[in-house]
Amino acid sequence: MAGTSEGNRAIETLGKIKESPVYGMVIAQFIATFLASASFLAFDRVAALSALMAGLVCLIPGGFVLAMSLRPIEPGGTGISNVIRGEAGKFALSIMLFAMVFVLIKPLDPVAFFATFIVLQLCAGIAPWMKARRRLKPH
């Protein structure tokens, strides 16, 4: 019986993922990472790997924020502590991942890395805007 309860909680959590405002951002960044890596692969393997690394530097912290956004809000709370923890963790993970990429990945194409990183950051702003725009559109 305990397995059934845990299974139900897992299914409920998976159902809530799509409701999170962070979900669209992470999906948009994942798709953009794949497209950038595939595009750079047509020109250079190092550039493609660099684009993939930029994607990981964005996606891993974004996944952390997504996980934090799914945590239950304490009774009587506003959920702001989850937001603060999520953003602080995202910041720390981003710094750590940047350092790891620049120390461990050789060779690295900085133009491909930063171009992809900038595009992924733009995805973080464009995805919520597109979702809001879709909601406001008359049917």
- Domain for residue 57, yes or no? yes
The interaxial angle of helices 45-69 and 80-104, nearest 10 deg, is: 160
Band (7; pLDDT cuts 50, 70, 90): low
- Domain for residue 24, yes or no? yes
For residue 72, give the DSSP letter: P
- The number of distinct structural domains making up the chain is 1
Q: Are 99 and 36 in contact (CB under 8 A)?
A: no
- Domain for residue 71, yes or no? yes
Q: Are 117 and 18 in contact (CB under 8 A)?
A: no
The interaxial angle of helices 110-136 and 21-41, nearest 10 deg, is: 140
- Domain for residue 8, yes or no? no
State how far the Cα of 55 lies from the Cα of 51, in Å rounded to an integer.
6
Band (112; pLDDT cuts 50, 70, 90): very high
- Domain for residue 93, yes or no? yes
Average model confidence (pLDDT) across the chain = 84
pLDDT exceeds 70 at position 120:
yes
- Domain for residue 45, yes or no? yes
Band (101; pLDDT cuts 50, 70, 90): very high
pLDDT tens column, 35-85:
999 999 998 999 999 999 999 999 999 989 888 888 777 777 777 888 888
Higher pLDDT, 127 or 70: 70
State how far the Cα of 127 lies from the Cα of 62, in Å rounded to an integer.
13
Domain around 40 = 20-136
- Domain for residue 104, yes or no? yes
Whole-prediction pTM:
0.78
